[in-house]
A and B are shown apart, each in its own frame.
Chain A
Amino acid sequence: MRINCPFCGERGNDEFSYLGDASVVRPDPASPSAADEFYAFAYERRNVAGPMQELWYHTAGCHAWLVVTRDTRTHEIFEVKAAQDVAFGRQKTADTTP
């Protein structure tokens, strides 16, 4: 399997480390329901059979964390983004949400 690192180009998956589901987002520790939210964040997994957003780290390359959209049934990769950009995008969305 090959992953197209947005910084380094396409590389074999042995250059990367896997973390898992990128759709779970670290909750606000100050939330009154932080205990439940952190439990869900750390343990509950949708375990998608199909296109899934997931976190990969370019261990042997540029050390960037990436959000990879990949079909877990076929291993086809549709999109790779820098995790930092996705995180910023998420924060912006959060900021503008009333």
Chain B
Amino acid sequence: MTQTSRVTGLGLVDRSKPLDFTFDGVPYTGYKGDTLASALLANGVRLVGRSFKYHRPRGILTAGSEEPNALVELRTGARREPNTRATVAELYSGLEAKSQNRFPSLSLDLLSINGLLSPVFSAGFYYKTFMWPASFWEKVYEPMIRRAAGLGRAANEADPDIYDKANAFCDVLVIGSGPAGLMAALSAARAGARLILTDESFAFGGRLLSDVTTIDGMSGVEWVKSSISELSSLPNVRLLPRTTIFGAYDSGTFGAVERVADHVAVPSAGEPRQRLWHIVAKQTVVAQGSTERPIIFGNNDRPGVMLASAVRSYINRFGVAPGQTAVVFSNNDDAASTIDDLVRAGVTVAALVDTRASVPEAIKLRARKQGIRVFEGAAVADALGGQRVSGARIVAAYGTSHTVGCDLIAVSGGFNPNLQVTTHLGGRPQWHENLAAFVPGALPKWMTVAGAANGVFSLASCLGDGAKAGHAAAVAAGFDANATAVPHAEDEPINVSAFWHVEAAKHKAFVDQQNDVTAADVRLAEREGYRSVEHLKRYTTLGMATDQGKTSNVNGLALMAELTKKSIPATGTTSARPPYSPVSIGAFAGEHRGKHFKPTRLTPSHNWAKERGAVFIEAGMWLRAQYFPKPGETDWQTVVNREVTTVRSGVGVCDVSTLGKIEIHGTDAGKFLDRVYINMMSTLGVGKARYGMMLREDGIAMDDGTAARFADDRYFITTTTANAIKVLQHLELCRQWYWPELDVQIFPVSDQWAQYSVAGPRARGLLAKIVDAPFDISNSAFPYMAAAELTVLSGIKGRLYRLSFSGELAYEIAVPARHGELLMRKLMSEGEEFGVTPYGTEALGVMRIEKGHVAGPELNGTTTAADLGLGKMASTKKDFVGRVLSQRPGLADPNRPRVIGFKPVDRSARLRGGAHFIAKDAKATAENDLGYMTSVAYSPSLGHWVGLGLLSQAESRVGEILTAVDPVRGETTLVEVVPSAFYDAEGARLRV
């Protein structure tokens, strides 16, 4: 098909670069520099979509991101992208677009019957209906509503494209590159400021690309070119086209999205589709221009009704005539240039309809010269036609009615400054009576607004305003420079006279076209008391669609003001929430998705473990070896049983490097640790280690671990894997904020050490081959809870601790992390003669439960030291963090659930974590709930399942039989309450 509506000689598109595309499967051709909307118009396509509620035919209203109607599904398959505005989608070769929300086809949409039912589907009708019978909501009514909901469809598959994140810092950020923005940028950049200039379009220039203007004797387009060329030559300037500043955040931070590859079919390899920018600016000039608003009249949503400024954009920027015969409907002087442009594009202008009683003579003259009929004090009451405009019914002064044939109604109800970004930080817009528009109110210190966004509309004043703002911003950012000269341009006033809606409309008159909110809906909201602007919005959904009401909010507000006979500012304001225009979710996530959602932390023995065939488990950021299957072992339980049995009978090695490790040095280190642990640490001998517990200030257990002392002023402590960061932060708080007078230095050294537990009756034999002579690891020389610095494997500096989590004779041996893999390999090879096994987190867990040691499930942020059976550890000779508040009655209550052990009565039965305890013959109800199982494991050492749990009056129930109920799994098990140490309760094995 040929581009029947393309106008020869007009427009900035590159006619040497034709681009093929399809819409609803029909092939068309456009040019480089087109948007999808301009290319569709060029091909004479007017009907582009169906509306949300009534499925009314819709076309193209605007030429920008405020578009409410022309939304399409762009691309296909995994790249399918719903609700893309055809007016901002840059045309590329091979573009595929589909219309939305229609069945079976765009021109024949069966759901347009909704339009006939519209007397029922009034605003908020669902709040009054669908209540009977109650059970029908989820089954009948809601599925029906949900079938009709939404516009486009999300892709069915994972988004295949890459998203990038970037940061930028600048002295001055200029948002928008129209006349004000460009002048601001030139001013600030010439002053030497580091400058970023953004524009949401692919081309810089803003309105200058769409209007016929003269600046300093050259065309506006030429002036844009020369300005951009100057800016891009400056090293202190970063130009970001295709970049939308979507939000202003605190301290001069802005969020922006750059559409890096949305203008190609598929990004090239490694190239992101979009990039999310964090821009930190010392000063910001908002120059986002203004948005023209429609006037509300009957059938004002028909394809062919278009904003006058959009008509000019299509003609001047894209070289497209959006119609053949036009009626211009306006309340301001800007209409004059629309007429000129239409005429130049060869469009017949049938009439100028101006709501003002007297139109300036100059305009009338210009119109009459072209033979255009002028209706003063008149309005277009209704658009005629179905799937496209065929005429306009004009109601003139004294109520006379005229019908004029046309296929385009160019409408202008005045201009709303684009001040959304200025309200993101709480600024309230001010109503400006003369402009009949909201202008920016109070702004952050670092923000100014220039040009049309500031309510300054003529070209000359935009240039001047921009120059002033750019200069002021540079000065505020610390640059000393003279003001830039302002180029010359005409100063044409706009002279808006407020006019909101046409009373004489016979047809549905839309306020919010995308959400199908009509003037009648606003009246109904008023009648029912939803009069505050927020109630209006929420009750009717006015302004809640994907365009966020850019063309409807102020009109709706004005309508409500009329109805309530209040002024517009007394009725409300329109403040916006980010984003300025919708932003892909993928852009916010960047690369942090899939396996890269969070970083992965690897232990020093990771490579070895992988080689060994370990199964890994996510533990916080860590990947840890969960167990090490041998060839032929298919069942994880078999593997874990073997690992446990081998440790209990021979020797095993487990990577425990994930423990948090902290060095505490200084002359007051002991004193300091006394204050953070509940037990005494200052009395710990050099070369000894001690188990310790820390509380939060509220008296609840925070973490447990060990402290070893290597010198009077040198301790080394460990934390649990999960709490490493939290404990470090807490210790720094104690050091810097609570007790700055203490001489203490804290060093996080978690990553410095590879640390392995070597456990089992044969551990000593194995270690003897690892530690360098003459270090003596005999029981007498290096007893339980000893700690030493030594060398291993012929000269590697290491540390040895005689600690046992497993309950066996055990050591933890540490070497600098780079030697970690070597040490693990040595332990394995030297351990062969002892039948060594590596063991993972599962076996570690089994053995700690067998021993009754508490861990994460018990240290859950609600248990006290006493609850954990460690109350006696608390020293009474000193204060420590959490001591005072742990004595509150609720925490000191002896009836609180405490940790105790459980065995199944039927020894073959399985125990379940999360089961609740009920007295044996009691009913399973909340009143009889005695506690719950925290940790369970199958104990190969005992041949049955064992569990730990928190139980009311735990000690006095030892020997009692309880029911462990697990309704969500449908299981009930009889359990016996037993002391929590199942295995070697006396601790004989770990002292040998």
Partner pick for A2 among B251, B733, B884, B885, CB 8 A cutoff: B251
With contact pairs A87-B736, A87-B737, A88-B740 given, residues A1 and B885 touching in the complex (Cβ less than 8 Å): no
Q: Chain B residues with Cβ under 8 A from A39's Cβ?
A: 885, 888
Partner pick for A42 among B698, B732, B741, CB 8 A cutoff: B698
Task: Give the distance in Å from the alpha carbon of A74 to the alpha carbon of B424 in the complex.
Answer: 11
- In addition to A26-B697, A57-B732, A83-B736, 14 A-B residue pairs with Cβ atoms within 8 Å of each other are A1-B253, A2-B253, A12-B278, A29-B879, A34-B884, A38-B884, A41-B697, A57-B733, A63-B728, A65-B737, A83-B737, A87-B737, A88-B740, A91-B740
Q: Is B622 an interface residue (CB 8 A)?
A: no
In the complex, are the beta carbons of A35 and B251 less than 8 A apart?
no
**Interface residues of B, Cβ cutoff 8 Å to A:** 249-253, 278, 280, 425-426, 697-698, 725, 728-729, 732-733, 736-738, 740-741, 879, 883-885, 887-888
Task: Give the distance in Å from the alpha carbon of A55 to the alpha carbon of B732 in the complex.
Answer: 12
In the complex, are the beta carbons of B887 and A35 less than 8 A apart?
yes
Q: Chain B residues with Cβ under 8 A from A13's Cβ?
A: 250
Q: Could you tell me the distance in whole angstroms from the C-beta of B169 to the nearest C-beta in chain A?
A: 10
Q: Could you tell me the distance in whole angstroms from the C-beta of A67 to the nearest C-beta in chain B?
A: 9
Q: Chain A residues with Cβ under 8 A from B253's Cβ?
A: 1-2, 12
Task: Give the distance in Å from the alpha carbon of A82 to the alpha carbon of B728 in the complex.
Answer: 18
Q: How large is the interface on A (under 10, 10 to 19, 20 to 34, 35 or more residues)?
A: 20 to 34
Q: Could you tell me the distance in whole angstroms from the C-beta of B887 to the nearest C-beta in chain A?
A: 7
In the complex, are the beta carbons of B733 and A38 less than 8 A apart?
no
Q: Is A84 an interface residue (CB 8 A)?
A: yes
In the complex, are the beta carbons of A1 and B250 less than 8 A apart?
yes
Task: Give the distance in Å from the alpha carbon of A38 to the alpha carbon of B887 in the complex.
Answer: 11
B426's nearest neighbour on chain A, judged by CB, is A74
In the complex, are the beta carbons of A2 and B280 less than 8 A apart?
yes
Task: Give the distance in Å from the alpha carbon of A82 to the alpha carbon of B541 in the complex.
Answer: 49
Task: Give the distance in Å from the alpha carbon of A84 to the alpha carbon of B746 in the complex.
Answer: 14
With contact pairs A1-B253, A84-B740 given, residues A19 and B733 touching in the complex (Cβ less than 8 Å): yes
B-contacting residues, A57-98, CB 8 Å: 57, 59, 63-65, 74-77, 82-84, 87-88, 91
Task: Give the distance in Å from the alpha carbon of A64 to the alpha carbon of B732 in the complex.
Answer: 8
Task: Give the distance in Å from the alpha carbon of A75 to the alpha carbon of B250 in the complex.
Answer: 7
Task: Give the distance in Å from the alpha carbon of A26 to the alpha carbon of B884 in the complex.
Answer: 11
Task: Give the distance in Å from the alpha carbon of A1 to the alpha carbon of B252 in the complex.
Answer: 8
Q: Could you tell me the distance in whole angstroms from the C-beta of A62 to the nearest C-beta in chain B?
A: 10
Q: Is A17 an interface residue (CB 8 A)?
A: yes
Contact pattern, A 13-24, Cβ under 8 Å of B = 1, otherwise 0: 100010100000
**Interface residues of A, Cβ cutoff 8 Å to B:** 1-2, 12-13, 17, 19, 26, 29-30, 34-35, 38-39, 41-42, 55, 57, 59, 63-65, 74-77, 82-84, 87-88, 91
Q: Could you tell me the distance in whole angstroms from the C-beta of B255 to the nearest C-beta in chain A?
A: 12
B879's nearest neighbour on chain A, judged by CB, is A29
A85's nearest neighbour on chain B, judged by CB, is B740
With contact pairs A12-B278, A17-B729, A91-B741 given, residues A64 and B736 touching in the complex (Cβ less than 8 Å): yes
In the complex, are the beta carbons of B885 and A38 less than 8 A apart?
yes
> 3 closest Cβ contacts across the A-B interface?
A1-B250, A2-B251, A29-B879
Q: Could you tell me the distance in whole angstroms from the C-beta of B888 to the nearest C-beta in chain A?
A: 8
B425's nearest neighbour on chain A, judged by CB, is A74
Task: Give the distance in Å from the alpha carbon of A34 to the alpha carbon of B882 in the complex.
Answer: 12
In the complex, are the beta carbons of B884 and A35 less than 8 A apart?
yes
Q: Chain A residues with Cβ under 8 A from B741's Cβ?
A: 88, 91
In the complex, are the beta carbons of A65 and B885 less than 8 A apart?
no
Q: Chain A residues with Cβ under 8 A from B736's Cβ?
A: 64-65, 82-84, 87
Partner pick for B740 among A38, A59, A87, CB 8 A cutoff: A87
Q: Could you tell me the distance in whole angstroms from the C-beta of A96 to the nearest C-beta in chain B?
A: 15
User: Which of A26, A39, A91 has its CB near the most chain B CB atoms (within 10 A)?
Assistant: A26
Q: Chain B residues with Cβ under 8 A from A77's Cβ?
A: 251
Q: Could you tell me the distance in whole angstroms from the C-beta of A19 to the nearest C-beta in chain B?
A: 7
Task: Give the distance in Å from the alpha carbon of A64 to the alpha carbon of B728 in the complex.
Answer: 12
B280's nearest neighbour on chain A, judged by CB, is A2
A-B contact pairs, 24 of them (CB 8 A): A1-B249, A2-B252, A2-B253, A19-B733, A26-B697, A29-B884, A35-B884, A38-B697, A38-B885, A39-B885, A39-B888, A55-B733, A64-B736, A65-B732, A65-B733, A65-B737, A74-B425, A75-B250, A75-B251, A77-B251, A82-B736, A88-B741, A91-B740, A91-B741
Q: Could you tell me the distance in whole angstroms from the C-beta of B729 to the nearest C-beta in chain A?
A: 6
Q: Could you tell me the distance in whole angstroms from the C-beta of A86 to the nearest C-beta in chain B?
A: 8
Task: Give the distance in Å from the alpha carbon of A28 to the alpha carbon of B249 in the complex.
Answer: 41
Q: Chain B residues with Cβ under 8 A from A65's Cβ?
A: 732-733, 736-737
In the complex, are the beta carbons of A59 and B884 less than 8 A apart?
no
Q: Chain A residues with Cβ under 8 A from B887's Cβ?
A: 35
Q: Could you tell me the distance in whole angstroms from the C-beta of B90 to the nearest C-beta in chain A?
A: 32
With contact pairs A2-B251, A75-B251 given, residues A29 and B738 touching in the complex (Cβ less than 8 Å): no
In the complex, are the beta carbons of A42 and B251 less than 8 A apart?
no
Q: Could you tell me the distance in whole angstroms from the C-beta of A89 to the nearest C-beta in chain B?
A: 10
In the complex, are the beta carbons of B251 and A30 less than 8 A apart?
no
In the complex, are the beta carbons of A59 and B729 less than 8 A apart?
yes
Q: Chain B residues with Cβ under 8 A from A55's Cβ?
A: 733, 737
User: Which of A38, A75, A91 has its CB near the most chain B CB atoms (within 10 A)?
Assistant: A38
Q: Chain A residues with Cβ under 8 A from B252's Cβ?
A: 2
In the complex, are the beta carbons of A84 and B737 less than 8 A apart?
yes
